[in-house]
């Protein structure tokens, strides 16, 4: 009897993406961040502080990143079509990629300008305005962190926003410290050194986000998932003789996908027998590995001679 191929049980694509669940949080952070950008930009222009301007620029990149994430979440919520069978859910990943690249560019610009200032006569900085704007920025960043805290482990875009706001908080702290140093000692170049520190804090976070995005785009196995362990679970299912061509990847944050070729024992090669095997397999994947979108190709042992084993 010929076994059915490509039989799919549970599909988790209709429940929405991880970023989509946190749109209100992202919108709240966007409003807070843009408000502080305006305050810090005005403070930087009036005080002459590069560090404060760098912090404002960093926060502006964060606001742009959050707006991109919100737009991507809206696009990702559009239904699937015959041309795009997974819909537009990868738009969230592309937004995270743009966010990471934007962070790297901002860090490079800040670093270059700070080095230029270190090599020239230090301009006078009005520390009162600088300190006040930095404190306001720090308090706003702390509020944004609290808003994003619960969603940071569910979505790449929320995680990216959380990391950016955390960097902003550290950047605001650096501006506060440099303002205090200038007030206490008159050492004006502390402003440029604080700017360099902010740039160096941005880069590791940008790289971390970029690496996660690349893993998703390359359809790498999700972090913490062991293919060998999943295969062992599949083979332990009653009626299963073997499993091969196992693929595990993510469409976007919160949407894992799984497929495998499963060799069924001869006595289960009936319509009812294979249906029971499929039910056991989908329950196994859903309960042990939190994967709802599973596709199994069931085949008899004799089918192995017709295909080459190329994957796990």
Does the structure show a pLDDT above 60 at 253?
Answer: yes
Q: pLDDT digits over 8-38, tens only?
A: 444 433 345 555 566 777 888 888 888 888 9
CATH code of 221-306, in short, is: 3.30.70.1350
Give the pLDDT of residue 298. 87
Q: Which of 13-22, 108-117, 130-139 has the lowest mean pLDDT?
A: 13-22
Distance CA 199, CA 183 (A): 23
Written as six digits, the tokens of 17 are 């993406």
CATH superfamily for 14-217 is Cation efflux protein transmembrane domain (1.20.1510.10)
290 pLDDT band (50/70/90 cuts)? Answer: low
Q: Percentage of the chain with pLDDT > 70?
A: 80
Question: What are the boundaries of each domain within the chain?
Answer: 14-217, 221-306
Give the pLDDT of residue 10. 41
Does the structure show a pLDDT above 50 at 169?
Answer: yes
258 pLDDT band (50/70/90 cuts)? Answer: confident
Give the pLDDT of residue 1. 37
Q: Which of 116-120, 132-136, 188-192, 195-199 has the lowest mean pLDDT?
A: 116-120
Does the structure show a pLDDT above 80 at 183?
Answer: yes
In CATH terms, are 14-217 and 221-306 the same topology? no
Are the C-beta atoms of residues 234 and 283 closer than 8 Å to each other? no
């Amino acid at each position: 009897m010929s076994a059915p191929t490509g039989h799919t049980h549970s599909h988790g694509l209709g429940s929405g993406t991880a970023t989509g669940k946190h749109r209100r949080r992202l919108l709240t952070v966007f409003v807070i961040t843009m408000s502080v950008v305006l305050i810090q930009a005005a403070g930087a222009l009036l005080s002459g502080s590069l560090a404060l301007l760098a912090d404002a620029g960093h926060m502006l990149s964060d606001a742009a990143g959050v707006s991109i994430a919100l737009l991507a979440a809206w696009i990702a919520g559009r239904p699937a079509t015959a041309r795009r069978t997974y819909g537009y859910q990868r738009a969230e990943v592309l937004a995270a990629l743009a966010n990471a690249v934007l962070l790297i560019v901002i860090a490079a610009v800040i670093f270059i300008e700070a080095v230029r200032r270190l090599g020239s006569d230090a301009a006078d900085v009005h520390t009162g305005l600088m300190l006040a704007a930095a404190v306001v920025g720090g308090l706003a960043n702390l509020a944004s962190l609290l808003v994003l805290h619960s969603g940071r482990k569910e979505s790449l875009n929320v995680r990216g926003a959380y990391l950016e706001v955390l960097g902003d908080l550290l950047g605001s702290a650096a501006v506060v410290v440099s303002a205090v140093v200038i007030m206490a000692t008159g050492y004006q170049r502390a402003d440029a050194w604080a700017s360099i520190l902010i740039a160096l804090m941005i880069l590791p976070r940008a790289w971390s986000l970029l690496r996660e995005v690349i893993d998703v785009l390359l359809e790498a196995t999700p972090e913490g998932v062991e293919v060998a362990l999943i295969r062992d679970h599949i083979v332990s299912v009653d009626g299963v003789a073997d499993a091969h061509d196992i693929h595990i990847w993510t469409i976007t944050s919160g949407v894992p996908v799984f497929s495998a070729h499963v060799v069924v024992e001869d006595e289960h090669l009936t319509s009812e027998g294979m249906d029971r095997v499929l039910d056991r397999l989908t329950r196994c994947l859903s309960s042990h590995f939190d994967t709802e979108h599973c596709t199994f190709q069931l085949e008899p042992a004799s089918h192995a001679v017709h295909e080459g084993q190329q994957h796990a």
